[in-house]
Amino acid sequence: MENAVPLVEVWRGALLESTHSGHAVVCDTSGNIVAAWGDPEAVIYPRSSCKMIQALPLITSGAADRYGLTSEQLALACASHNGAAIHTTRVERWLDQLGLAESDFRCGPQDPADKAAHDGLIRSGQQPCQIHNNCSGKHSGFLTLNRYMGGGPEYHEVDHPVQQAVLAAFEEVTGEDSPGYGIDGCSAPNFATSLHGLARAMAWFASAGSRSDQASAAAGRLVQAMMAHPELVAGEGRACTALMRALGGKAAVKTGAEGVFTAILPEQGLGVALKIADGATRASECTMAAMLIWLGLLESDNPVALDYCNAPIRSRLGLDAGVIRPVAGFIRPI
């Protein structure tokens, strides 16, 4: 993470308490860099910010249509969800539709971030299961593709046909040979790319509607699904959901662990990718909101933009203690 530049400041009183540096790239549909902060060639794991890429083979293979997947299911395939009832009930139905069970997942159990779901499990003495995993929609997509392809049960292994199909799509849309992979929190491989490659992929998604090839048609369906169902892509109180609602169908955005965030801007024909060097989500959310303002997609006084670009730090009594905001000059003054 060399050559990262300061992007976000955490102020408490009159003192700059902490700072976050990182890299950010805006690409046009030719794959050219329109704007960059830090090192656009920094190699990163996109983590969950590339779920729409991982969902491409689900559609291009014919599996999504074979199983009649809805727009809601495509949104869930791209989601890092809260494990709320709106997510888990749909994932359960999806498993039923495939004739599969929770035990067919390979994502592992995760405590749901949704408070009602979390508290409900505790009250009923139940443990979280793999359906609650924030990636269970992506894994439902993997299971659907695997069912269609007739692959073995260990669909999360890098040599499995499902993941090899993901890798082929990933290298196609990033325009790069992936230099390697890491194991993601959900045990699926996560392929590395330069930030430039990730932004190039997002710009390719942004311009999908202008092309007629099968992969572009698949990309267009995924972007439309994300924008149509922001509550399924993340959940209440989450940045992806709040920002996509505020954007009102003008863009799809997706967070990833360790400080990654991507955006697909169809109207502008632009793709955005950013990585906070230290991996902080508070900083990736702030930077993405700042970039959406900078790109003219959000007004700087939009309440959702302010939630992330001028995020108040309060004491547990509610006293105003500080603010998290972009570095001065990154966007227009708020």
Q: Which parts of this chain interact with its own copies (CB under 8 A)?
A: 1, 10, 12-21, 43-45, 106-110, 119, 122-123, 133, 179-187, 190, 192, 258-259, 276-280, 283, 315-322
Q: Which is nearer to its own copies, 179 or 249 (CB)?
A: 179
Q: Which is nearer to its own copies, 13 or 329 (CB)?
A: 13
Long-range contacts of 311-319 (CB under 8 A, 24+ apart): 311/282, 311/286, 313/10, 313/11, 313/12
Q: Which is nearer to its own copies, 142 or 148 (CB)?
A: 142
DSSP string, 25-39: EEEETTS-EEEEES-
Provide φ and ψ at 108, rounded to 5°: 85, 155
CB of 169 to its own copies, least distance (A): 20
> How far apart, in whole angstroms, are the C-alpha atoms of residue 318 and residue 252?
33
> Residue for token digits 């509610």?
318
Q: Which is nearer to its own copies, 49 or 61 (CB)?
A: 49
CB of 121 to its own copies, least distance (A): 9
CB of 149 to its own copies, least distance (A): 22
Contact present, 197 and 175 (Cβ < 8 Å) = yes
Contact present, 240 and 255 (Cβ < 8 Å) = yes
Q: Which is nearer to its own copies, 128 or 230 (CB)?
A: 128
Provide φ and ψ at 191, rounded to 5°: -85, 140
Tokens at residue 130, please?
């793999």
SS (H, E, C) 158-223: CCCHHHHHHHHHHHHHHCCCCCCEEECCCCCEEECEEHHHHHHHHHHHHCHHHCCCHHHHHHHHHH
CB of 32 to its own copies, least distance (A): 26
Q: Which is nearer to its own copies, 13 or 68 (CB)?
A: 13
CB of 301 to its own copies, least distance (A): 26
CB of 137 to its own copies, least distance (A): 15
